């Protein structure tokens, strides 16, 4: 959903007069972020205290939604508290930082 929203927001949405596809993906992405927000309530990571493959699977999608696709406003990302804190915790991990540098950035 996040990738579909990103596509319609950053690329195709600018070419289409009909914003219903983008709005549909925005609504579903906002709903899914709400599910993540609830899941992270009282937890450091998706499954609890430990960083797992579940966090790794979601990390890139959430990061790109608000970063690369710049769609934070469409999904009211600023109203969330647990998801942004989780994203910061994930991005602060040394292994994640190393992974983000592959391939090496100039």
Enter the pTM of the model.
0.90
Please determine, for residue 15, whether its predicted confidence score (pLDDT) is greater than 80: no
Torsion of CA 23, 26, 31, 34, to 10 degrees: -140
Averaged pLDDT for residues 19-26 = 88
- Domains of the chain with bracketed CATH: 2-100 (1.20.1050.10)
Burial environment of residue 3 by CB neighbours within 10 A (0 to 12, 13 to 18, 19 or more):
middle
Dump pLDDT digits (tens) for 33-71. Answer: 999 999 999 999 999 999 999 999 999 999 999 999 999
pLDDT of the residue at 16: 78
Please determine, for residue 104, whether its predicted confidence score (pLDDT) is greater than 90: no
Kindly give, in sequence order, each residue whose CB lies less than 8 Å from that of residue 15, ignoring residues fewer than 6 positions away: none
* Integer Cα distance of 45 and 68 in angstroms: 23
* Integer Cα distance of 95 and 33 in angstroms: 24
Question: Cis peptide before 103, with omega less than 30 degrees from 0?
Answer: yes
Please determine, for residue 12, whether its predicted confidence score (pLDDT) is greater than 90: no
């Amino acid at each position: 959903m996040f990738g579909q929203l990103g596509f319609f927001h950053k690329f195709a949405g600018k070419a289409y007069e009909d914003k219903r596809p983008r709005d549909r993906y925005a609504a579903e992405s906002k709903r899914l972020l709400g599910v993540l927000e609830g899941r992270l309530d009282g937890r450091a990571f998706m499954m609890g205290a430990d960083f797992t493959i579940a966090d790794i699977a979601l990390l890139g999608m959430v990061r790109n939604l608000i970063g690369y696709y710049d769609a934070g406003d469409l999904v009211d990302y600023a109203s969330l508290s647990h998801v942004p804190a989780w994203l910061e915790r994930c991005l602060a991990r040394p292994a994640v930082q190393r992974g983000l540098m592959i391939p090496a950035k100039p």
